[in-house]
Amino acid sequence: MAPPNKLIERADILNAREVIAGRVHRTPVTSSAYLGERAGVRLHFKLELFQKTGSFKPRGVLNKLHHMSAEEKQKGVITISAGNHAQALAWGATQSGVSSTVVMPAGSQRSKIEATQGYGGEVILTEDGLMETCLAVQKERDLTLVHPFDDPFIIAGQGTVGLEILEDVPEVDVVIVGVGGGGLISGIATAIKSTRPGAKVIGVEPEGACAMHRSLQRGEPVPLERVDTVADGLAAPFAGQHTLAHVQTHVDDVVIVSDEEIVEAMWLIMERCKVVAEPAAASTLAALLSGRASLSPGSTVVCVLSGGNVDRERLKALL
């Protein structure tokens, strides 16, 4: 597995697939002729919102837990998350007989907090810096940190989404992926480029949380002083060293969309595909329909719908 500053490889993703086999869903791919025609492409959706706990996150979590030592597991694990990684870690840790603690923003969706607790995780809400609070609790309790995205085992686990895309849509020309901290796109891009190097991988960030875009401009991780977006699943306040390196190497572009475009895309996905995508997931369609993702007419495109964790009150407010 890759040490710091070394990229993961296809072999790492194949190993991760063996580790998580039978423990996660093999999520389907669907298509939409109507939305594809609007964008001038052949459009498919990778429905990772049907994954266990409602997002792609268990893939990376299970792979990371598998590679932890018995001593690290005995201590218990801790992480930071706005919700999807929180739920996945709580679920995965409980499945593995490991205690879990999650530091979440005080304004997190109530449904995500309750789901995390329901999966067996202890939730600590904070209005202070997430990582600062997490590291303080980690030191106090001697816990093992499971980073939500900046970890090679996490990245390799998320890359299994890319393997499935290649199997279901082998002629894919473009894969569009939402970017929070960058773990998902790092893994998917590694899988895609190692098999179909001519295909494009395009990342999407919301205007109010574009840490990866700024980090690419600077050439190093840039922390955001403020995060403000409806897409809480993409609201990472920083990109990681590992994820930035993977994006720099394998990702063709990272585009930015507005919250208004994301909400409109949510509605279109509900109306036309009959599934509920959370804002982070709908960002991929928003990028496609906005025209910011540079595509050739008639391209075969896969938009990754990364999760579906949005509660009814939030949904009413958004739609």
What residues are annotated to the active site? 57, 306
Locate tokens 């719908």: which residue?
305
CB atoms within 10 A of CB 271: 10
Taken in order 48, 50, 52, 55, the sign of the CA dihedral is positive
CB atoms within 10 A of CB 6: 11
Locate tokens 């209005």: which residue?
127
Q: Do 106 and 127 touch, CB atoms closer than 8 A?
A: yes
CA end-to-end distance (rounded Å), the chain: 43
Q: Do 203 and 306 touch, CB atoms closer than 8 A?
A: no
For the record, the structure tokens of 313 come out as 């009150």
Q: Do 146 and 121 touch, CB atoms closer than 8 A?
A: no
Rounded to an integer, what distance in angstroms lies between the CA atom of residue 304 and that of residue 49?
Answer: 9
